[in-house]
């Protein structure tokens, strides 16, 4: 009976594993379809000058609305898109959406720009720079209209990343390192990439409030950014106290629910129009 029980357990286990992978397969297949059919929308979160409160840019954040209306967080579907090799299509879709929805605003405000997130795989894609140029050229937008965000994780030991970053910068795009402080903590690699902006991760901004880590860590990051001639954007600002602390310590810009949650294109255009 022990052997029978053992076999039974193995069969049950195999079935369970099969069902999980089935579910993952359908999730990923559904996502691939959504990307193919353009069922991805973009939300825009204002990036604000901390001392003046003025908005000179926004971050484009992908949203997937499923057939049943459920909105899936990019934290859940970006990794799936990366695994199933559809991230490149998704990135191009986001860029096209941004150009469609914000093209007018970008063309008429040369101080205004939109940030787009690139994933590690985008950096290794040989055609991305060319495709990008094509989209911007056909919309008659200068490269300075679009900035790119890359996470620390995507930068580590990639010669491809270095080359692409350099190429995009030569073209006139600004490059930001995203979620700074959460990834590989060796700071020396920062020097080896041509970057313009350091985005301080929300975890540090949270710590200003809770004192979970001493704020001296943030002061050191700010010093380092200065010495590398990077400007700074603080992420996830939720209180006036955080704004004051960051501004007093020399951080120029920030984004977060304190200013605005990510908005639909129509909401963002209204938000932007209202402040002038």
Which residues form the interface with ligand C2E (CB under 6 A)? 45, 61-62, 73-75, 78, 91, 94, 117-119, 149, 178-179, 235-238, 255-257, 262
Closest CB to ligand C2E among 181 and 256? 256
Rank residues 14 and 93 by Cβ distance to ligand C2E and give the closer one: 93
CB of 118 to ligand C2E, least distance (A): 6
In 78-207, at which residue ranges do the beta strands (DSSP E only) sit?
Answer: 113-118, 146-151, 175-180, 197-200
Residues that bind Mg ion (CB under 5 A): 117, 149, 178-179, 235
How many Å apart are CA 56 and CA 233, to the nearest integer? 12
Residue 61 or 143 having the CB closest to ligand C2E: 61
The CA distance from 111 to 56, in Å, is 6
Using the minimum distance from each CB to ligand C2E, give the nearer residue, 202 or 272. 202
Q: Smallest distance from the beta carbon of 150 to Mg ion, in angstroms?
A: 9
- The single residue listed with the structure tokens 């049950």 is 12
**Residue 114 near residue 146 (C-beta atoms within 8 A):** yes
Name which of 152 and 235 has its Cβ closer to ligand C2E.
235
Token look-up 């209180």 returns 239
Helices (H) and strands (E) in the chain, counts: 11, 9
Name the binder of 260 from ligand C2E, Mg ion, none, CB < 5-8 A by kind: none
Q: Is 158 helix (H, G, I), strand (E, B) or coil?
A: coil
Residue 205's binding partner out of ligand C2E, Mg ion, none, with CB under 5 to 8 Å set by partner kind: none
Annotate 177-223 with DSSP letters as a single string. Answer: EEEETSS----GGGGGS--SEEEE-HHHHHHHHH-SS-HHHHHHHHH
Q: Which residue, chain included where needed, has tokens 């989209």?
A: 135
Rounded to a whole number of angstroms, the minimum distance from the CB of residue 180 to Mg ion is: 8
Query: From the CB of 67, what's the least distance to Mg ion, in Å?
Result: 27
Whether residue 133 contacts residue 76, with contact meaning beta carbons closer than 8 Å, is answered with: no
* Binder of residue 256, out of Mg ion, ligand C2E, none (CB less than 5 to 8 A by kind): ligand C2E
In whole angstroms, the minimum distance from the beta carbon of 265 to ligand C2E comes to 14
Binding partner selected for residue 94 from Mg ion, ligand C2E, none, CB under the kind-specific 5 to 8 Å limit: ligand C2E
CA distances from 146 to 59, 94, 133, 155 (A): 10, 12, 11, 19
Q: How far is the CB of 197 from ligand C2E (least distance, A)?
A: 13
Q: Which residue, among 125, 66, 53, has the nearest Cα to 95 in the 3D structure? A: 125
Could you say which of ligand C2E, Mg ion, none residue 152 binds, taking C-beta under 5 to 8 angstroms by partner kind? none
- Minimum CB separation of residue 271 from ligand C2E in Å reads 15
Instruction: Pick between residue 13 and residue 253 the one whose CB is nearest to ligand C2E.
Output: 253
| Residue at token pair 């990008």 | 132
238 binds, among Mg ion, ligand C2E, none (CB under 5 to 8 A by kind): ligand C2E
């Amino acid at each position: 009976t022990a052997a029978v029980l053992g076999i039974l357990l193995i069969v049950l286990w195999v079935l369970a594993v099969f069902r999980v992978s089935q579910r993952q397969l359908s999730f990923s297949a559904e996502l691939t379809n959504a990307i193919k059919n353009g069922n991805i929308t973009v939300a825009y979160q204002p990036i604000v000058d901390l001392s003046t409160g003025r908005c000179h840019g926004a971050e484009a954040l992908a949203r997937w609305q499923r057939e049943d209306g459920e909105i899936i967080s990019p934290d859940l579907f970006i990794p799936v898109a990366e695994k199933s090799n559809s991230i490149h299509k998704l990135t191009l879709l986001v860029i096209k959406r941004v150009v469609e929805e914000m093209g007018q605003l970008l063309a008429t405000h040369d101080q205004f720009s939109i940030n787009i997130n690139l994933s590690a795989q985008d950096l290794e894609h040989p055609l991305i720079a060319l495709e990008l140029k094509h989209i911007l050229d056909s919309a008659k937008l200068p490269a300075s209209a679009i900035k790119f965000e890359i996470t620390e994780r995507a930068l580590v030991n990639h010669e491809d990343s270095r080359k692409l970053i350099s190429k995009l910068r030569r073209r006139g795009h600004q490059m930001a390192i995203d979620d700074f402080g959460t990834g590989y903590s060796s700071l020396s690699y920062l020097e080896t990439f041509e970057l313009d902006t350091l985005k301080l991760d929300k975890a540090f901004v949270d710590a200003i409030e809770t004192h979970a880590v001493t704020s001296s860590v943030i002061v050191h990051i700010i010093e380092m950014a200065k010495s590398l001639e990077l400007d700074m954007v603080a992420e996830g600002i939720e209180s006036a106290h955080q704004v004051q602390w960051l501004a007093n310590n020399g951080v120029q810009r920030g984004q977060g629910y304190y200013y605005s949650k990510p908005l639909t294109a129509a909401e963002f255009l209204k938000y932007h129009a209202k402040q002038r």
